[in-house]
Structure 1
């Protein structure tokens, strides 16, 4: 179990991690507004299956997401999804075109992005989930 949020586009999910108040739920909501589906908010179960990290919501919070200043909202949620990307909101990206980074979850190496302070971050993550990054295979 990790303190994170997770949304997916199709069968590709991003795990959004960061400390309390870092904007995990806000980023997840912004991505949901662009067509992503909720997997889990605040707490995410991670398991490994066939070389992939699978994210699932704990039963108590399945289909719920916090909207600060609004309340706990209901959402159509996926039961689970494979994580293909990790977004770390504790660190801010300073490079315009950052070199690929990775992190390891449950023995699986996954691409890692840092927070981008700009209105394009949520749409960029949605597009990443749709099609990946140009240099992912390099």
Structure 2
């Protein structure tokens, strides 16, 4: 599970998939793009006030597996609200413009997105999905970008 700062708070992404599907590789790339670790491998989820939260089990807190390196320490948040579930999928199984999909965790329906985790843009797609939660595919394309503005041409 990862989190990224947005809208004045940490927003969690629960990444799921079978062993070897690319979860930790996706997480490592996302960490390089401003996400923070919450939990790797196993996540304890619970509901409170109609919202879903997640954290690492104590013996695994602040650890992430990097295939080829082993288990390494990584600064982590103690817990975070889960706002999005990302399913690691085969490249051919990812739809270009998917219908809204939800996954229930601890009794809370969460938006769910299927991504091919090896795609270089997968971390950016997770961030964009959080930016446009509930917008639907058409509004997401039309909504203004809420990140940093693009650099002006000719600006130094």
Tell me, yes or no, whether TM beats 0.5: yes
- List aligned pairs for 1:41-120, cutoff 5 A: 41-90=40-89, 92=91, 93-116=93-116, 118-120=119-121
Give the Å deviation of 1:60: 0.3
Q: Are the aligned partners of 1:19 and 1:90 in contact in 2 as well (CA < 8 Å)?
A: no
Q: Are the aligned partners of 1:34 and 1:126 in contact in 2 as well (CA < 8 Å)?
A: no
1:15-46 C-alpha deviation (Å, 9 max, x unpaired): 00111111111111111110000000001000
Give the Å deviation of 1:90: 4.3
Structure with the largest fraction of strand: 1
Question: What is the distance in 2 between the residues matched to 1:95 and 1:50?
Answer: 33
SS of residue matched to 2:38? strand
Point out which structure has higher relative CO (alpha carbons under 8 A, 6+ apart): 1
Does 2:8 align with 1:7? no
Q: Are the aligned partners of 1:31 and 1:126 in contact in 2 as well (CA < 8 Å)?
A: no
Deviation beyond 3 Å, 4+ runs, structure 1: 90-94
Q: Are the aligned partners of 1:17 and 1:24 in contact in 2 as well (CA < 8 Å)?
A: yes
Normalised by the length of structure 1, the TM-score is: 0.86
Question: What is the distance in 1 between the residues matched to 2:81 and 2:87?
Answer: 17
Question: What is the distance in 2 between the residues matched to 1:111 and 1:9?
Answer: 16
Structure 1 gap segments, 5+ residues each: 1-5
The alignment covers a number of residue pairs equal to: 131
SS of residue matched to 1:84? strand
Structure 2 gap segments, 5+ residues each: 140-156
Q: RMSD across aligned C-alpha pairs, in angstroms?
A: 1.8
Question: What is the distance in 2 between the residues matched to 1:107 and 1:91?
Answer: 27
User: What residue number does 2:147 align with?
Assistant: none
1:56-76 C-alpha deviation (Å, 9 max, x unpaired): 111101000010001211111
